[in-house]
Structure 1
Amino acid sequence: MSFAASPQDLLTAYEAKSAKAVPARGEKFFNAKHGKEWSCASCHDSLPNHETKHIVTGKVIQALSPSRNSARFSDPAKVEKWFKRNCNDVLGRECEAQEKADVLSWLMTVK
C-alpha cells in the first residue's frame, strides 16, 4: 500500500539510512556514466526541468524536477520502482540510499 509523501519525506527517509545528502554530489552522479552506456541525463536531460523522451523508446518522460512536476516523488512505491529500474540501467545495480538521497536533494533544487 502506498501513501502520499513529499520529496522532503523521501529525502529524510534516505538520509536516515545513509548520511546527509549533498546536492552537488547528486548532480554529478545524475550526469555521469557509471561504467554503463547511459547516465540519468541520457533520458532526463542534464537539467531535468522539462519534458523529455526516452533515448530508446521515444516515450515521453515528464519533468523529473519536483518543482516542475508535483506528482514526482509523491508515491514511495513508484519512487522505489523507478529508482530500481533506472539505477539498474545506469549502474547495473540498485542505487544505495546515499545515492538516492544525493540525487533527490539535487532534483529538489532544480527549478
Structure 2
Amino acid sequence: MIKRLFCGAVAALGMAAAASAADTPASLMAHYAQAAGIPVAALSAARGAALYRAEHPGRNAQAASCASCHTANPQQPGRSRVGKRIEPLAPAANPERFTDAAKVEKWFRRNCGDVLQRECSAREKGDFIAWLSQVQ
C-alpha cells in the first residue's frame, strides 16, 4: 500500500515537472495572445522593445526601465538594485528563460509593479516575449 502511494506521488511529481518543462516562449506567447483576445501574429516585437526601453516614473522620483537592472542589451547579465546578478533575459543567451510559466508570471508581477507601478497586460507580456525571442 505504501509502495503504491509512493509510486503514485513520484509519478505525479514527474508529470508536474514535465508539464512545466513543456513551457516555451512560443507557448507563452500563445497563452498571452489568447488572454488578450488577439492572434499570436498580432503580438509586436517592436512594442516589446519599446516597453523594455521606456523610462517610467519610479519610486523616489527616479525614472526606471527594464534596462535599469537588465542592461540595454538583454543578452548580457544585469544587476538588481541591491547588486545581485540577474541572468540574461534573452532566450538566445539564457535558454532557461521563459520555460516555466509560474516563474514568468512571478517575475512579470514583481517587475511590472516595480517599473510601471501597475500590472502588465497580457498583450504587453506577449509583446515582451515576442521581442526577447528575436534578440540574437
Q: Judge same fold: TM > 0.5, yes or no.
A: yes
Looking at both structures, which has the greater relative contact order when contacts are Cα pairs under 8 Å and sequence separation is at least 6?
1
Structure 2 match to 1:42: 68
Scaled by the length of structure 1, the TM-score of the pair is 0.93
Alignment of 1:66-105 (within 5 A): 66-105=91-130
Residue 41 of structure 2 is aligned to residue 15 of structure 1 = no
Scaled by the length of structure 2, the TM-score of the pair is 0.77
The answer to which structure has the higher helix fraction is 2
Kept in 2, the 8 Å contact 1:26–1:102? The answer is: yes
Equivalenced residues, count? 110
Structure 2 match to 1:27: 49
Q: Percent identity at matched positions?
A: 44
Find runs of 4+ consecutive structure 1 residues off by over 2 angstroms. Answer: 34-37
Residue 84 of structure 2 is aligned to residue 59 of structure 1 = yes
**Distance in 1 (alpha carbons) for counterparts of 2:122 and 2:79:** 27
**Aligned residue type for 1:108:** S
Please give the root-mean-square deviation of Cα atoms over the aligned residues, in Å. 1.3
Q: Partner of 1:43: helix, strand, or coil? A: helix
Please state how far the C-alpha of 1:35 moved relative to its aligned partner: 3.0
Q: Which has the larger radius of gyration?
A: 2
